[in-house]
Amino acid sequence: MNPQNTQGLIDHLIRALPAPRTSGPQVLALCGWADTGKTTLAAGLIEALRQRGWHADGFSTDSFLLPRPQRQALGLSGYDPRSLDEAGLAQTVAQLRQGLGVDVRPYCNRLGRQLDEARRIEPAELIVIEGIHALAAALRPHLTLSLFLDGDDAELAQLRAQANQGKRGMDAAEAVRRIPAELADYGLHVRPLQRHADLVAQVDRDYGYRLLTVATGLT
């Protein structure tokens, strides 16, 4: 498949989803390297589904990360599962699947921590969970469909460096300093999780997506 834009990938995901059900929400996970477009993809998918009459919502696993200063003090990157409150994340998803609303504090990249004000998420027909840890072991039993976004290390490093300056306010030197160690942690902790994904897509530095694994119903 030739690279496609975000909307093309959204259309594929929608076709792969089962019809809405009444027995509880479906849960779709978007996992992979940071700054591969997961947040943009999740927002576009939620909006597209709402336009089709679905009740859809979502949140990021970043809401359950330790604050950046604490991670750095512990010598942990955001790719290390020890940087995540996995139990809290799993409990939040379980509550949504039980028909209960939850409060989630969005993560701010510039501050490196969660915002003080929480966002209310009510039960929906589809919950989209995006983030580095969206395929964590405690989440996988809850998932209806999952997509893993990967790429060549050089492309991933370029995307990360751009975002470190644009989203996180780092200077050019700081933006690239931790990337080699982050790639090592990503390869150790996160990239192996793609074997659990229904779909795998490669992203390039222009945010073109190439599907490598195609789920039933995708063309």
In a domain, 95, yes or no: no
Work out the percent of the chain whose per-residue pLDDT is above 70.
95
Task: Give the bridge partners for 58, in sequence order.
Answer: 128
Residue 219, pLDDT > 50, answer no
Residue 84 is given by DSSP the state: B
Range of the structural domain that residue 42 is part of: 6-62+124-213
What stretches of the chain show up as alpha helix (H) in DSSP? 6-16, 38-51, 68-74, 86-97, 153-166, 172-177, 179-185
In a domain, 98, yes or no: no
In a domain, 100, yes or no: no
In a domain, 118, yes or no: no
In a domain, 15, yes or no: yes
**From CA 184, how far away is CA 167, in angstroms rounded?**
22
Task: Give the bridge partners for 200, in sequence order.
Answer: 148, 213
Its pTM stands at 0.89
- Give me the phi and psi of 92, to 5 degrees please: -60, -45
In a domain, 91, yes or no: no
Mean pLDDT of the chain: 89
In a domain, 110, yes or no: no
Q: Into how many domains does the chain fold?
A: 1
In a domain, 162, yes or no: yes
- What is the pLDDT averaged over residues 95-108? 94
CATH of the domain at 39: 3.40.50.300
